[in-house]
Structure 1
């Protein structure tokens, strides 16, 4: 069994806040994104997942790699690790929750305790680099 969950995430910052989502029946916020499908590149996954979650179009040519982060996967058995490869990218459209997303919100570093473990690591990095207030 694969003990690493391979995910791609979109980091969208505005005025020191980060766009986050909460799925139905979940108690934590997540940076938008999701699992790679077989044969997909990072950008394929990014474009598909963000369209599925937020009904917006990522502009692939503008995607910039931010970093890859690992932590215990939220809500999974001990030892299951999530690896999150993060990108920023320009987009068309307004983030709108779809069927799998209950809430779209802007979070600050003060909200760090409300996000998944891997997102906490990303929040720390963005805060240390002055991007997340």
Structure 2
């Protein structure tokens, strides 16, 4: 069974923003599961606000793509289906809620990413963002 999630792809100076949630060994993209009735925009905006304390810019919100990758540290799910989106933001990024840290990952750090996040890194590179 696939775990269906949304993610924010945010690149600064050729490096991808990633987060480490409490108790996790690898880095993930900001985002998560939709709540009942949420569309993609609402889910990504809510998750990013909860995890990083910033507000996404609705007019700049764009779908980058959807990927499927092996699930990491997700009991009961063998794969992750991740819809990836880009958007500008307002506010200063800070680790909040379940997020212990955030960092920007370059090509040399790609191995620190969970499988779906590594696939999103490659998707961002294919679109010329990295």
TM-score class normalised by the smaller sequence: over 0.9
Mapped partners of 2:115, 2:42: distance in 1: 25
Mean alpha-carbon deviation: is it higher for 117-126 or for 27-36? Answer: 117-126
1:1-133 alignment, distance < 5 Å: 3-77=1-75, 80-132=78-130
Deviation at 1:43, TM superposition (A): 0.3
Structure 1, unpaired ranges of 5+: none
Distance 1:112 1:78, change over 3 A: farther
TM-score (norm 2): 0.93
Mapped partners of 1:128, 1:66: distance in 2: 10
Task: Tell me the number of residue pairs that the alignment of Structure 1 and Structure 2 aligns.
Answer: 130
Mapped partners of 2:74, 2:5: distance in 1: 14
Mapped partners of 1:90, 1:37: distance in 2: 23
Regions of 4+ moved over 3 Å: none
CA RMSD, 1 decimal: 1.4
Structure 2, unpaired ranges of 5+: none
TM-score (norm 1): 0.91
Deviation at 1:63, TM superposition (A): 0.2
Deviation at 1:61, TM superposition (A): 1.9
